[in-house]
Amino acid sequence: MSHEQRREKRERMVTIVAAVPSDAQGIGDVHAKTWLATYPNEEYGITLTDIEAKIASRSPVESWRKTIEGKNETRRLWVAKEQEKIVGFLFAKKG
């Protein structure tokens, strides 16, 4: 593997870490993007505008911040980062 190939591979590396409060905006961004890409459905009459309204009504960034800050032994939240940019997240809840 050439030096350039190793550098490119390193640049694409994704790391998984426990979420911290400053990750809330990035989690909210990923959350919104995935909802907008997933849920509009012409067959069922669900429009992009419907999903945008749903996201706006829920204040996802503040909700994620509260989830991260709340110390709860039955919930965990991790983020996937690619060069410090959040590209995914995982929320697990026991019970």
86 φ/ψ angles, rounded to the nearest 5 degrees: -75, 125
Residues 6 or more apart whose CB falls under 8 angstroms from that of 31 comprise: 55, 60, 64, 89
Burial degree of 5 (CB within 10 A; 0-12, 13-18, 19+)? exposed
pLDDT band at 73 (very low <50, low <70, confident <90, very high): confident
- pTM for the whole structure: 0.77
Q: Are strands 14-18 and 85-93 parallel, antiparallel or unpaired?
A: unpaired
pLDDT for 27-67, tens place per residue? 999 999 999 999 999 999 999 999 999 888 877 888 899 99
What confidence score (pLDDT) does residue 14 get? 94
Beta-carbon count within 10 A of 3 CB: 7
